[in-house]
Amino acid sequence: MRLLTLAVHISDSVLRWPWWTSGYVVATVLILIGIRRLRDHEIPRIALITAASFVASMIHIRVGPTSVHLLLNGLVGVILGKRACVAIPVAIVLQAVLLGHGGFQTLGVNAVVITLPALFAGWFFHANRHAPTMGVKEAALAVSYVLHPALLLVLAPLLVIWRRMEKNWNSDGVFRAGFVAGAGAIILTAVLNSAVLVAGGEEDWHVIASLILAAHLPLAIIEGFVVAFAVSFLMSVQPALLRCEQ
């Protein structure tokens, strides 16, 4: 059996049948939640964000037997809220049909793995964009203390860059909340994807799952900044786009 996984899109014949069938069940529930009380004026925005996430997936970087590309599910969750449950499954289907990303058997699982982190991102951003947050300096010291003091050598320059960007972009914690929402969505997506491969795989995919998780850690930082800049810009020019129904 050959495992081909593009980013976090699991291929056919990789998971045991209870897992991919359960994926369809959960995905159906999420879609029903997403279309509940859907209003006509919301459809163009959903279509636009769906198209953006689809286009972002067209450019991917190969990493061994897997690959990575921008998911933007954090941004989808922040802008669309629970409507992400509609936008992401549509994008997943388009990616499978037009680009060959993932399998048709695993459409449900792939949709769930990407949608749940998007919902987390939307909830976190709207719950914390006005809340006082831990300072970057304190967070860096805490992470270094827990993991390894040598991390300060890496975190110090990032801290300086962060401070400079925050002065130009941050408004009531919007930049920080956007960064955590974007980065957190990628990390959670990679964790869920790896967990599904390990727990529900037809074969032992521990090595592949670990590689997928590791490959998406740098992407998490990139998407964190992408979402942070995007929401900061939207908050300045079109704040109505960030007032979605959660």
Beta strands, E only, the chain: 5-6, 61-63, 66-68
CATH 1.10.1760.20 fits 5-126+175-242, yes or no: yes
- Is residue 142 within 8 A of residue 89, CB to CB? The reply is no
Query: In sequence order, what are the beta bridge partners of 67?
Result: 6, 62
The DSSP element (H or E) to which 97 belongs, if any, is: none
The DSSP element (H or E) to which 93 belongs, if any, is: helix 84-94
In angstroms, the CA 7 to CA 22 distance is: 21
| pTM of the full structure | 0.81
Instruction: Kindly state the tokens that stand for 182.
Output: 């974007």
Residue with tokens 């964000």: 49
Per-residue pLDDT of the chain (246 residues; tens, 9 = 90+): 444 455 688 888 889 999 999 999 999 999 999 999 999 989 999 999 999 888 887 776 665 556 677 889 999 999 999 999 999 999 999 988 988 888 899 999 999 999 999 999 999 998 887 765 545 555 555 555 445 555 556 666 666 666 666 555 555 578 888 988 999 999 999 999 999 999 998 888 888 888 888 888 888 888 998 998 899 888 888 888 876 554
- Is residue 196 within 8 A of residue 113, CB to CB? The reply is yes
- Is residue 6 within 8 A of residue 58, CB to CB? The reply is no
Query: What is the reported pLDDT for 81?
Result: 93
The three-point CA angle 184-41-240 to 5° equals: 50
Range(s) within the chain of domains with CATH label 1.10.1760.20: 5-126+175-242
Query: What is the reported pLDDT for 134?
Result: 46
Query: What is the reported pLDDT for 2?
Result: 43
Q: How far separated are the first and last CA of the chain, in Å rounded?
A: 41
